[in-house]
Structure 1
Amino acid sequence: MNFIFGIASYGRGAVVSIFRLDSLKLIENECIHEVGHVLGLGHCMDYCVMRFSNSLYEAKQKPGYLCEKCKRKLK
């Protein structure tokens, strides 16, 4: 099943829905992900919090941190 956990606009703001996120860690990860979008990061293909997730299973597979590539993009 496909879900939208949050939405963000570059330089403006973000909204995160906690309805389907069943742990504080998942909520934290989704907030980090959406703030990444606000700061200008796109989705990442690496093992990264910016990786796209379309299901709760995929969201649970992501780490709670940025990969080195995404960290460099923010500098």
Structure 2
Amino acid sequence: MIFVCGLPYSFPSHPSFVKYIQQTYNPSFKVFSRNTIKADVCLYQDSRVSITSDMCRSVNGHDYLTITTH
């Protein structure tokens, strides 16, 4: 999402985003550093890899993060 939407690497550490994720999906969510995100994006930037992700909550209350690569 960060790479595709052109968001800054610091986006996941924004207090509003962290609060949203913790309240909606995962109260124990920990912030990723911008250096970790930058390294992950640069790893795939020159390849022909498409990465998508989705977060959801099951009916029994378990949270899931799914990552799909093509």
Instruction: Tell me whether the two structures share a fold, i.e. TM-score over 0.5.
Output: no
TM normalised by structure 1 equals: 0.29
More helix by share: 2
TM normalised by structure 2 equals: 0.30
More strand by share: 2
State the structure with bigger RCO (CA 8 A, min sep 6), 1 or 2: 1
If you compute each CA radius of gyration, which structure gives the higher value, 1 or 2?
Answer: 2
